[in-house]
Structure 1
Amino acid sequence: MGVLDAVAARVAAGATVVFRPTGNSMVPLIRSRDRVTVAPVDPAAVQPGDIVLARVAGTVYLHLVSAVDAANCRVQISSNRGRVNGWTSHARVYGICTRVEDADRPRTEGKVRNAEP
C-alpha cells in the first residue's frame, strides 16, 4: 500500500488529512513536498478545476477534475500537465484539496462532507 492509498483510506473514513505528496504532475498548483490538506468530499459537488483525491484504474491520484458526467455519476481526472488519467465513479472520489501550504483552494465551500476538525 502506497502513501496515497493510506491517505485515501483515512479520508474515505471521514478524516481530514494533511500530508506532503511527491511528484511534479500538478506544478504549479502543487509542487513536490508542498503541505496539502485533503478533506472528505461530496463527489456530486465537484467541478472541473477542483483538485481531488481519487482512484482511477486502481491507482490513487491527487489530480484535477477535468470533466464531469453528472448523468453517469462520474468524473474525469487529469494532471495539471494535460495527461488524462481516466474516468472514475463518484464512489472512488474520496476527498478534495482544501489547502496548499498556507493558501486556501478556491471553490471548496459546500463540497466538504463530514470532515473532522
Structure 2
Amino acid sequence: MGALDAIAARVAAGVTVSFRPTGSSMVPLIRSRQLVTVVPVDPTAVEVGDIVLARVAGSVHLHLVSAVDNHRLRVQISNNRGRINGWTSHARVYGICTTVGGVPWPRLAGKLQPS
C-alpha cells in the first residue's frame, strides 16, 4: 500500500489530511511537495475543475475532475498535462482539495461531507 492509499483511507474515514504530494502532473496548479489539504467530499457535488483524491484503475490520484456523468454516478479524472486517467465511481472519490500552498481552492460551497 502506497502513501496515497493510506491518505485515501484516512480521508474516506472522515479525516481532513494535509500532505505534500510528489510529481509534476499537476503543475502549475500543484507543484511537487507543495502542501495541500484534502477533506471528505460529497462526490455528487464535484464539478469539472475540482481537484479530488480518487482511486482510478487501482491507483489513487490527486487530480482534476475533467468530466462528470451524474446519470451513471461517476467522474472522469485527469492530470493537468492532458492525460486522462479514466472514469471512476462516486464511491471511489474520497476527498476534495481545499487548499494548495495555504491558498484556498475556489468553489467548495456545498461539496464537503457534513461532519
**In structure 1, what is the equivalent of residue 35 of structure 2?**
35
TM-score, normalised via structure 1 length: 0.97
Q: Does 1:77 align with 2:82?
A: no
Shift of 1:18: 0.3
Tell me which amino acid in the other structure corresponds to 2:7.
V
Deviation sequence 1:74-104 (CA, Å, 0-9, x none): 0000000000000000000000000001200
**Separation in 2 of the partners of 1:103 and 1:23?**
19
Q: Does 1:15 align with 2:1?
A: no
Q: Equivalents in 2 of 1:57, 1:96: separation in Å?
A: 19
Tell me, which stretches of 5 or more residues in structure 2 are unaligned?
none
Relative to the length of structure 2, the TM-score reads: 0.98
SS in structure 2 of the partner of residue 71 of structure 1: helix
Q: Distance in 2 between matches of 1:13 and 1:114?
A: 12
Q: Please give the per-residue CA displacement for 1:18-60, whole angstroms capped at 9, x wherever unaligned.
A: 0000000000000000000000000000000000000001000
Find the residue that maps to 2:106 and give its secondary structure: coil
Moved segments of 4+, more than 4 Å: none
Q: Secondary structure at the match of 1:37?
A: strand
Aligned residues: 115
Alpha-carbon offset, residue 109 of structure 1: 1.8
CA distance in 2, matches of 1:45, 1:10: 20
Consecutive unaligned residues of structure 1, counting only runs of 5 or more, are none
RMSD: 0.7
Quote the sequence identity (%): 73
Once the two structures are superposed, the pairs formed by residues 1-117 of structure 1 within 5 Å of their partners are 1-115=1-115
Query: Does the Cα contact within 8 Å between 1:14 and 1:114 map onto a contact in 2?
Result: no
- Letter aligned with residue 9 of structure 1: A
